Amino acid sequence: MQLKLPNLRIPTSFAIFCAGLIIGNPHFAQAKYVTLSKAPKSFLNKTQQVQFHHRWLHEYHSYDKNKSKRVRNWYSALMSEKSTDSLAELKSLYGLAGRMVKYKSERTDYWSTPGETIARGYGDCDDYAHVYLTSASLLGYDMKDLWLVAGTFYGRYGPVGHAIAVIETKEGKQYVLDNLYQRVISEEKHHSFKPSYEINMEAQAAFVSVNTQFHDAF
């Protein structure tokens, strides 16, 4: 499997162009994250995200043999959470991540792999998102149904950069796993967040994307 991660800076003009597609097409008014367009090739150059992806691939198939006992314990606990109930499964992996990882902000943004995050026991929002998404993938979710979504969270102290995980179940329902919410929620209940771009775990490419809260706000 050879996948590429992009440079994640989406130009304003590109976002406005995609916003025009949204407003002109009623399909995009649905309460879902949807892929609109692939970022231009000029943005798919080498970044820390490419380095992250190489490290992620290296560890993905060997969590049960990881040198960190914390990681091995996390993997073992995760595998015991398999269920035919998609929502129960997502709640379990979300709760497990919360027990294994404590929030800690970073002065310089660095994308840690799930193994790195769990081994040290702390991380920030994008680290949580990667743990959620990798957990879902390990439990059998198709990578085409897994997205890292980055954007702006509008909270009590003003707007801040934030990242979340969006997971679509086999029933076609999208759920948001956000470390700020303390629970798994449906996409339409996820408020105060304006998405800027998403990375689909299968395509490993950046897409401009929206939800119903901000479909006309780009």
pLDDT score of 127? 96
Residue 33 lies in a domain: no
pLDDT score of 39? 55
pLDDT score of 27? 41
pLDDT score of 69? 98
pLDDT score of 141? 96
Residue 4 lies in a domain: no
Which pTM was predicted? 0.79
CATH number, domain with residue 141 = 3.10.620.30
Q: What percent of the chain is modeled with pLDDT above 90?
A: 50
Residue 31 lies in a domain: no
Separation CA 215–CA 193 (nearest Å):
11
- Write phi, then psi, for 211 (nearest 5 degrees): -130, 180
Residue 102 lies in a domain: yes
Positive or negative: CA dihedral 190, 151, 122, 203: positive
Residue 34 lies in a domain: no
Residue 58 lies in a domain: yes
Residue 37 lies in a domain: no
DSSP string, the chain: ----PPP----HHHHHHHHHHHHT-GGGGSSS-----BPPGGG-S--HHHHHHHHHHHHHTTGGG-S-HHHHHHHHHHHTT--S-HHHHHHHHHHHHHHH-EE---SS-----HHHHHHHTEE-HHHHHHHHHHHHHHTT--GGGEEEEEEEEEETTEEEEEEEEEEE-TTS-EEEE-TTTSSEEEGGG--SEEEEEEEETTT--EE----GGGTT--
pLDDT score of 36? 55
Residue 193 domain boundaries: 12-23+45-214
pLDDT score of 194? 85
Separation CA 70–CA 2 (nearest Å):
28
pLDDT, tens digit only, all 218 positions of the chain? 333 333 334 333 333 333 333 333 444 344 566 655 555 555 454 566 677 888 999 999 999 999 999 999 999 999 999 999 999 999 999 999 999 999 999 888 888 999 999 999 999 999 999 999 999 999 999 998 999 988 899 988 899 999 999 999 999 999 999 999 999 999 888 888 888 778 888 766 666 545 444 433 32
Separation CA 86–CA 30 (nearest Å):
21
Residue 2 lies in a domain: no
pLDDT score of 40? 53
Total of domains in the chain: 1
